[in-house]
Structure 1
Amino acid sequence: MNLLSIQHNQQLQHKLAAEYVLGTLRGGARRRFEHWLGQDAGLRQVVRQWESHLLPMAEFAPAAQPSSHVWNAIEKRLQLKPTAQAGKSGNDRWAYWRNLREDLAFWRGLGMVSTTAALIMLSVLLSKQTEQSLPIQNNYVATLSDDKAQPVAVITGDSKRHQLVVKMVTAQHIPADKSLELWAVSKAGTVKSLGLVADNGSIVLPMPDNMNAADIPLLAVTLEPKGGSGNPEKPSGPIIFKGNWLEI
């Protein structure tokens, strides 16, 4: 496989870019892909798209409080146990590590790593299903951004459960007489309301059967009068953020 062979294969470009961002593309394959990135601006753009879709998911990672035996195991493996002499001298070389144990930001970061690991696991499982010709559960994701390209919401779709989960990464301050409404935009340019979304936190909406990325490449949120647009096939307010709907 060479750069020319993937330049005309959009599906392969997205597959390699997703694996690159997730960290599952390793060794020689990763080095070769990074070399191609230096030669192809279009491929770099595909990677940026996957970064914008996947990296905001770290916002979902909860703070993790480790149990005492986990920290003891880390200390033992890294030989971080302080000696009695060090404690008496007042020159405690291990103070940094004990402070790190109490650092909430450190464990929140560890939770983000766990989220990435979960995404990697999902990617591997989907790949295994494809190889074994088993029925594949289609999953989708979209990162919606505002006009300044700042991520505002992450939307995930589960075709098996027929559910859309809309998570606001950045809380929106909506007037009391307004509502946010989510729309699916088809390749033909037609739109369909998917329901109202909250201006903060998460909400679950039903996912239509035809919500595949090939037919519905774009999702958008508009600012509507209280209760939403009166026409489920036509927004009445402006689009305030939008993003590509991708299959993962």
Structure 2
Amino acid sequence: MTIRQNVRQNATLREMLAAEYALGTLKGGARRRLESWLADDAALRFAISEWQDRLNPMSEFATPEQPSPEVWRAISKQIGLKKAEQQSRKSFWLNLREDLSFWRGLGMTSTALATVLIAVLLTRQPEVAVPQAPMFVATLTNEQAQPIALVTGDAHNHKMVIKVVTRQAVAEDKSLELWAVPKDGAPRSLGLIAADGTVTLPMPAGSSPDSIPLLAVTLEPKGGSPNPNGPTGPVVFKGAWLNI
């Protein structure tokens, strides 16, 4: 199944892409590709229009905020104003944390998007098993900025629900493993997730965005990483863990 066919048939994925398009976080080739579908996809046009109607009033309440030095450094690095630091000196997980510092500069709009997205899933997708009163949320995307999974966390019941909205092709000898990436220290495994559908996992104490700003999924050997100290496979999708 092509990506376009998936968007046509998967209402949840269509809503997530429309939300990111309306918010402006869908960039580059992914944005141009979606725009090329609009002429003959009435459902997608309607979804984008609805999201624009929802999000535009929010701008009236947004107060000006000076970007942090981390944001400016990230922008400078992205457009090549400064020579990139030697990546060989950095671990892959440190790079993830540095990427996160840029995106968290957009925290107000990201949290607003996450809040409205949860509302849509609760009202339009009754089959999606999400907590009654989710406290935390993350939209996990791949390298092409395609939404792969929605993660919601319920601090009261110590549970998190992972809804995969774009089915993943995973070999029989591989597993997808979810990790909490703390501000400092090694990533912590939260458990295995399915290549499709919904999985509920226990949410350990201390899993709030204050201490765990990022969630990531890696492709591991069957049954999960054999290394007790962290992942062994590549990161396949990731996203900021936010309060709502």
The equivalent of 2:205 in structure 1 is: 209
In structure 2, the partner of 1:160 is: 156
- Distance in 2 (CA, whole Å) between partners of 1:168 and 1:208 is 21
Structure-to-structure mapping, 1:110-149, within 5 angstroms: 111=124, 139-149=135-145
Greater alpha carbon shift after TM alignment, 229-238 vs 168-177:
229-238
Alpha-carbon distance, 1:54 to partner = 4.4
Which has the bigger relative contact order, CA under 8 A and spacing at least 6? 2
**Structure 2 partner of 1:83:** none
Alpha-carbon contact 1:180-1:196 (below 8 Å) kept: yes
* Alignment deviations for residues 107-156 of structure 1 (CA, whole Å, 9 cap, x no partner): xxx836x99xxx9x96xxxxxxxxxxxxxxx7111110000111100111
Once residues 223 and 181 of structure 2 are traced to their aligned partners in structure 1, the CA distance between those partners, rounded to angstroms, is 20
Report 1:72-111 matches (<5 A).
111=124
Residues 9-41 of structure 1 show CA distances to partners (whole Å, capped at 9, x for unaligned) of xxxxxxxx9xx9995996xxx56436x57x978
1:49 — aligned with what?
110
CA contact (8 A) 1:144 1:243 kept: yes
Q: Is the 8 A contact 2:111 2:242 kept in 1?
A: no
Give % identity: 41
- RMSD over aligned Cα atoms: 4.0
1:200 aligns with 2:228: no
CA, structure 1 residues 51+241, in 2 after alignment: closer, same or farther (shift >3 Å)?
farther
List aligned pairs for 1:14-33, cutoff 5 A: 32-33=60-61
Q: Give the AA of the match of 1:172.
A: Q
- State the alpha-carbon separation in 1 of the partners of residues 116 and 60 from structure 2: 23
Q: Does 2:175 correspond to 1:179?
A: yes
Please give the per-residue CA displacement for 1:75-98, whole angstroms capped at 9, x wherever unaligned. xxxxxxxxxxxxxxxxxxxxxxxx
1:172-231 CA distance string (max 9 Å, x none): 111111100000000014211000000000001010011011100000000001111012
Given the superposition, is the C-alpha separation of residues 22 and 242 from structure 1 closer, same or farther in structure 2, using an over 3 Å criterion? farther
Structure-2 change in CA distance of 1:200 and 1:21 (3 Å):
same
AA in 2 matched with 1:170: T
Q: Match for 1:141: what amino acid?
A: V
Q: Distance in 2 between matches of 1:157 and 1:31?
A: 27
Question: Distance in 2 between the 1:216 and 1:45 partners?
Answer: 17
* Distance in 2 between residues matched to 1:144 and 1:206, nearest whole Å: 18
Matching residue's letter, 2:111: W
- Taking structure 1 as the reference length, the TM-score comes to 0.53
Contact 2:175 2:224 in 1 (8 A): yes
Compare CA radii of gyration and give the structure with the larger one: 1
Deviation at 1:247, TM superposition (A): 1.3
Structure 2: how far apart are the matches of 1:59 and 1:201?
Answer: 18
Distance in structure 1 (CA, Å) of the matches to 2:120 and 2:174: 26
Q: CA deviation at 1:60?
A: 3.8
Is the 1:57–1:154 Cα contact (8 Å) retained in structure 2? no
Report the residue type matching 2:159 in the other structure. Q
In the alignment of these two chains, the number of paired residues is: 158
Question: 1:54-73 CA distances to partner (integer Å, 9 max, x unpaired)?
Answer: 46547745xxxxxxxxxxxx
**TM-score between both structures, scaled by the size of structure 2:** 0.53
Contact 1:21 1:47 in 2 (8 A): no
| Whole-angstrom distance in 2 between the partners of 1:229 and 1:31 | 43
Tell me the secondary structure at the aligned position of residue 183 of structure 2: coil
Change beyond 3 A, Cα 1:207–1:44: closer
Q: Which runs of 5+ in 1 are unaligned?
A: 1-16, 62-109, 123-137
